[in-house]
Structure 1
Amino acid sequence: MNGRAAVDHLPALHAYLDDPARQDSVRAAAVAVVEALAAAAVELAGVIASGPLVGITGRDGAVNPDGDTQKDIDVVADRLMRDALRTAPVAAVLSEEVELPETLDAEAPLCVAIDPLDGSANLANNISVGTIFSIRPKARDILSTFFEPGTAQIAAGFFIYGPQTVLVLALDQRVDVFTLYPPTREFVLTGRGVRIPPDTPEFAINASNRRHWSGAVRGYIDECLAGANGECGRDFNMRWIGSLVAEAYRILVRGGVFLYPADVRPGYREGRLRLLYEAHPVALIMEWADGAASSGRARILELSARTPHQRVPLIMGSPRTVRDIDMMHEGVEPLFENADAPLFARRGLFR
């Protein structure tokens, strides 16, 4: 079967979105947001693929409001995504690249939080990066919308720019996957009702930071590393890409667990990922794909931000594994005991 014939029998994104658009005005507005972001993602995918051929050098630039150094591609991605949202029924948008939410149309029914280009530092190594977005109904006061818990989201998703450009979309309590077909510049449905494999012996963490972790996190990883000779009774694979969208996509496909915990380093004590436009939307995707997402002490979707760029620890993946790690946090001080103390002896997976 040639490529065109293979694509012809797959629903395009705009056709797939027809049904939710007819359900009610809020869903219709969410559909318009997704379509606007998808159009921008097609443009951004082209820029990323061309890189230096279109003037993208990867050079460091200014520092964003949350203290991270911007790449030139961060600025381009932010412009493309915010311009797209101006064409949709969006009251305000909070971007990683701006300090406060920007009001677009105060009468519109939705607000969007977005990381325009997650993992831009990875582009120098030709590693997958992405765009993460969260859609929620506007509260009576626009700013307060962003300080509601993650359960307020009505949709979320991410685009991943890799060997294929893919959209993972959480809408109407399900997670579906769409792949960009470059000849027509359309996303087509390639995965329906994604479910995370429940029992994959695989974990992802930046193991170079072991000395900074809490005893609970270190205890879990040590038990995994003991493998078949330890209490887990089986061997584990370890993965680490360092790109949130790539890590999330791998879990959707393969299962396992991803940990980006808080640790004792300055700037990491509340975690490193942003709650509103990274952890909240990814947590919604995980839960609607039969997975789980936790800070180690609380369900991510039940957390509310105190500031627009609030940081949080994130543990996501199969629900059994996330639950086990949560249990290991019980009875352990909330970090910042002596990081070198053998705390995990106080609680493990099997005691």
Structure 2
Amino acid sequence: MNPSDLEHWLAARPPALAEVIRQLAAACAEISRAAARSGLDHAAGDGVVQGLAQRAEQCVAHALGDCKQVAGFVTDDQREPVISPEHGSGGAYLVLANPLEGEGAGALAGDGPLGTLFSVLPHLFRGTPASPAAFMQPGRRQVAAGYAIYGPRTVLVLSTREGVQMFTLEPGSDRWLLTQDALAVPATGTAVAVDPANQRFWEKPVQRYVAECVAGQSGPRGRDFTMRWSESLVADVHGIFARGGVLLDPRDNREPYRPGRLRLMFEAAPLALLMEQAGGAAANGSAALLDLVPDALQQRVCVILGSREEVERIVCYHADPSQNVSWQLFKTRSLFIQPQA
């Protein structure tokens, strides 16, 4: 029998993992209701956004703290993981979450999209208490990842490494209806999600790619592209799933020693798993995002993800020595070419 909702779908998953996802989905449903209520009082401005962020943090912490399958969890605002005093040794999984993404100034007043991201890792040394070091796993080891996006409808996009599924929250309930199975990203696309305000600071491979897209039909790509940037990561990625294209959060030369803006473990890795499971790709310019081994909980990376052909094209541009890539070792110089005066 084909599953009709999340509960039916979880019945075919390992019971321990199903319980973790069930708790995360319940937290997302509660955050959705809190976001809807907060939208009624947007005149209060940043105070409402801050209050909603705190409420989202509480929802996630409560859901994961009560789950016996979770040995420990950490959110993007925490410096150290929370290790369960009851389940820190016996819990099968570790969870990382960004409870409320897109909560910048004016998000509620402008009815901007908000979201939640999460990543589920195995507790590799089950039987011993989880530790901060236990979270330092590459994204390739994720057993599940997903995001919720809150708007006119609340949608949960989820993968347990068996493709990508989309569920929609039934209004007035906690039931998630399966609305799309085997979600697939088009191999190529014409949407480019990037903040153009920083273009002058981008590395040359990214500048080259974006310039080719802007040139449209008269350029080397021979077709027109659209540029979008919503300041909400989940909203921009959700659009890539629907239309194809690429999301770029590139390294820039203002801070050569800062590798990127997005957090590897809380944002880049879960989205990379979803993208690869849907047939897309995700890289930092030189390596697959899922292969990066974190050395800090809050480690940041540059992100290139979306349709496979678009990502592979940008990666090829990074591999071209004539593009004068500004890697950290050489600061603003390339190993091959000196910058032009």
Query: TM-score, normalization: structure 1?
Result: 0.86
Residues 58/280 of structure 1: CA separation in 2 closer, same or farther (3 Å cut):
farther
Asked whether 1:92 is paired with 2:75, we answer no
Letter in 1 for 2:208: G
How big is each residue's C-alpha offset from its partner over 1:124-156, in whole Å with a ceiling of 9 and x where there is no partner?
321111000000101225322321111110000
Q: Does the 8 Å contact 2:275/2:306 carry over to 1?
A: yes
Residues 225/12 of structure 1: CA separation in 2 closer, same or farther (3 Å cut):
same
Q: CA deviation at 1:199?
A: 2.1
In the aligned structure 1, how far is the partner of 2:213 from the partner of 2:199? 14
Residues 217/75 of structure 1: CA separation in 2 closer, same or farther (3 Å cut):
same
Asked whether 1:76 is paired with 2:55, we answer yes
In the aligned structure 1, how far is the partner of 2:70 from the partner of 2:260? 29
How big is each residue's C-alpha offset from its partner over 1:289-309, in whole Å with a ceiling of 9 and x where there is no partner?
000001111100000111111
User: Hey, what does 1:123 align to over in structure 2?
Assistant: 108
Letter in 1 for 2:102: G
How big is each residue's C-alpha offset from its partner over 1:16-54, in whole Å with a ceiling of 9 and x where there is no partner?
11111xxxxxx3222111111111111111111111657
User: Hey, what does 1:49 align to over in structure 2?
Assistant: 36
Residues 178/161 of structure 1: CA separation in 2 closer, same or farther (3 Å cut):
same
Where in structure 2 are the equivalents of 1:249-264 lying within 5 Å? 249-264=238-253
Residues 192/100 of structure 1: CA separation in 2 closer, same or farther (3 Å cut):
same
Q: CA deviation at 1:264?
A: 2.2
Q: Of 92, 95, 103, which residue of structure 2 is paired with 1:112? A: 95
Q: Of 111, 114, 117, which residue of structure 2 is paired with 1:132? A: 117
Aligned-partner SS, 2:182: coil
Aligned-partner SS, 2:97: strand
Q: Of 1, 7, 11, which residue of structure 2 is paired with 1:14? A: 7
In the aligned structure 2, how far is the partner of 1:163 from the partner of 1:344? 48
User: Hey, what does 2:21 align to over in structure 1?
Assistant: 34
Residues 58/90 of structure 1: CA separation in 2 closer, same or farther (3 Å cut):
farther
Letter in 1 for 2:200: R
Query: TM-score, normalization: structure 2?
Result: 0.88
User: Hey, what does 1:193 align to over in structure 2?
Assistant: 182
Q: CA deviation at 1:58?
A: 4.5
User: Hey, what does 1:248 align to over in structure 2?
Assistant: 237
Q: Does the 8 Å contact 1:219/1:343 carry over to 2?
A: no
How big is each residue's C-alpha offset from its partner over 1:41-90, in whole Å with a ceiling of 9 and x where there is no partner?
111111111116579945269xxxxxxxx822211111110110112210
Aligned-partner SS, 2:12: helix
Aligned-partner SS, 1:231: coil
Asked whether 1:229 is paired with 2:218, we answer yes
Residues 146/58 of structure 1: CA separation in 2 closer, same or farther (3 Å cut):
farther
User: Hey, what does 2:150 align to over in structure 1?
Assistant: 161
Letter in 1 for 2:114: V
Q: Of 184, 188, 205, which residue of structure 1 is paired with 2:173? A: 184
Q: Does the 8 Å contact 1:280/1:301 carry over to 2?
A: yes
Q: CA deviation at 1:337?
A: 2.4
Q: Which runs of 5+ in 2 are unaligned?
A: none
How big is each residue's C-alpha offset from its partner over 1:153-193, in whole Å with a ceiling of 9 and x where there is no partner?
00000011011100000114210000011133311000000
Q: Does the 8 Å contact 1:58/1:72 carry over to 2?
A: no
Q: Which runs of 5+ in 1 are unaligned?
A: 1-8, 21-26, 62-69, 346-351
Asked whether 1:277 is paired with 2:266, we answer yes
Residues 123/344 of structure 1: CA separation in 2 closer, same or farther (3 Å cut):
farther
Asked whether 1:308 is paired with 2:308, we answer no
Aligned length: 321
In the aligned structure 1, how far is the partner of 2:218 from the partner of 2:42? 52
In the aligned structure 2, how far is the partner of 1:203 from the partner of 1:344? 27
Fraction of identical pairs, as percent: 36
In the aligned structure 2, how far is the partner of 1:323 from the partner of 1:142? 36
